Amino acid sequence: MEMRSLGKMTSALGLQIIIALLLFGYTVESSARGPSSSDLIEEQTHLYFINFNSTTAVSVQVDTKTVFSCYTYSMKNLIMAIWKIFPRDKILCIMAYRSDKNETKEINCFNERITWESRPDQNLALQIDQVTIEDDGYYMCVVVTPDGNFQSGHWLNVLVPPETSLSVDGNGTATCEASAGKPAAQISWVPEGYCLSVNETHGNRTVTVKSMCHWNGLNETKVTCSISHLTGNKSLSIELLPSRLNHFAPLLLCISLCVLLSIMTIMGFILIWKAVCHRNCESQRTRSTPNINMEEEPYVNYMKNVHCGNKSKN
C-alpha cells in the first residue's frame, strides 16, 4: 500500500512542482522575458522527470525531535527546493524555497512545529519539534537544479510507549496490561500459565493489549509479566499467594473452627471419661476396705464396762 501511495505521489510530482513555480512567479517572469510557448512547455515537461529517488523508513518516539535530510546538492546551482508533507489524516502541505530570491513560501501548512531546521539557503533539512501521532506520514523533498530533479523521501512512524500495569484478583488470575501503545506491545509470562490476550485499537491508532493468566494447580506464588515494545522493554512481578489466601479465608476459617470444635469435643469426652473412671475407682475402693469402726465397737464397749466396774468397787 505504501508503494502504491508513493507511486501516486511521484506521478503528481511534476504538477506540484509547476504549482510551486507558479507560486513563485517563474512563469510570469519567463513570459516577461519573452520565451516562446514551446520553450515553456519543454521546460515544464522537463520538471516531470526525477533523476534520483530514495525513500527511507524512520521510527521516532513521541515527544522527541526529529530531522529529515534533503538531497545534498550544491546550493550555488540550486533553483528550488520543495518539501511536500503527506500526513495520514490531513491535507497536503507544501514548503518551498527559491534560491535566486532567497524566499520561502508555504501552502496549507498550519503546524508550527514543522519548520526548516535552519536557514534554507544553508541547509534544506526539515525538522519536527515534539513529534506527535498526527505527524505520521510521508515527507518528500524535491531539489530542482539545472542538472535535473532529485527526490528523497521519509516514511515517518511515530512510536508511543504503552502505560503498563499488573494486578491480581481474588481468584488468583493476574492481568497484565499495556495501554495505548504504538505499535501494539507483546506480553509474555514467567512462569507460563493458562493465558488469554485481547487487543483493542483506538481511534488514534494506538493499541491496548491485555493479557490474563491463571495458574490453577501449579502452586505458583510469584509471577512476572514481560512487556516488549519498540520504545523499550519492562518487567512487572506480583505475588499470587496473598490474594489466594484472601479468597480462601472463609473456607480456612470454617476449617479452623471445625478443627477447634473437634479438639474441644475430644477433650470434653476425655475429661468426662476420666471423671467416670475416678468415681468407679472410688466406689470399688470403698467396697473393698473393711469397716474398722464396726470391728472396734465391741472392744470399746467392753473397755467402758470394765472401767465402770472398777470405779464402783472403789
DSSP string of 210-229? EEEEE-TTS---EEEEEEE-
Q: Which residues contact 87 (CB under 8 A, 6 or more apart)?
A: 93, 134, 135, 136, 137
The CATH number assigned to the domain holding 95 equals 2.60.40.10
**153 and 18, same domain (yes or no):** yes
**66 and 191, same domain (yes or no):** no
**171 and 139, same domain (yes or no):** no
**21 and 110, same domain (yes or no):** yes
Domain limits for position 209:
163-243
**144 and 34, same domain (yes or no):** yes
**153 and 6, same domain (yes or no):** yes
**132 and 47, same domain (yes or no):** yes
DSSP structure class, residue 193: -
Say if 312 falls within a structural domain. no
Residues 94-139 have pLDDT tens digits of 999 999 999 999 999 999 999 999 889 889 999 999 999 999 999 9
Say if 264 falls within a structural domain. no
Arithmetic mean of pLDDT, 12-28: 50
Longest dimension (CA), the chain: 191
**51 and 178, same domain (yes or no):** no
**122 and 239, same domain (yes or no):** no
**124 and 199, same domain (yes or no):** no
pLDDT confidence tier of residue 271, bands split at 50, 70 and 90: confident
Say if 142 falls within a structural domain. yes
As for how many domains the chain has, the answer is 2
Nearest to 81 by CA among 150, 163, 1, 156: 150
Sheet holding 114-116, edge to edge: 66-68, 126-128, 114-116
pLDDT at position 286: 64
Side chain identity at residue 63, one-letter code: D
* Domain limit, last residue, from 184, 209, 243: 243
> Exposed, middle or buried by CB within 10 Å (0-12, 13-18, 19+), for 307?
exposed
pLDDT higher for 74 or 84? 84
**236 and 187, same domain (yes or no):** yes
Task: Output the nine-digit C-alpha cell for 88.
Answer: 495520514
DSSP structure class, residue 230: T
d(CA 127, CA 142): 16
Element (H, E) at 114: strand 114-116
* Domain limit, last residue, from 110, 140, 157: 157
